[in-house]
Amino acid sequence: MEIKLDEKNFDKEVLASDIPVMVDFWAVWCGPCKVLGPIVSELAKEYEGKLKVGKVNVDENNAIAGKYGIMSIPTVKFFKGGKVVGELIGAAPKSTLEAQLKLIM
Q: What is the pLDDT of residue 16?
A: 98
Instruction: List the catalytic residue out of 5, 14, 33, 88.
Output: 33
Q: What is the pLDDT of residue 27?
A: 98
Query: Position 26: which residue type?
Result: W
Instruction: List the catalytic residue out of 3, 5, 30, 44.
Output: 30
**Which 3 state secondary structure label does DSSP give 95?**
helix
Mean pLDDT of 59-63: 97
Q: Please state, in angstroms and rounded to a whole number, the distance separating the CA atoms of residues 79 and 25.
A: 13
Q: Supply the DSSP symbol for 90.
A: S
Asked if 7 is an active-site residue, the reply is: no
Q: What is the pLDDT of residue 66?
A: 97
Percentage of the residues of the chain whose pLDDT score is greater than 70: 100
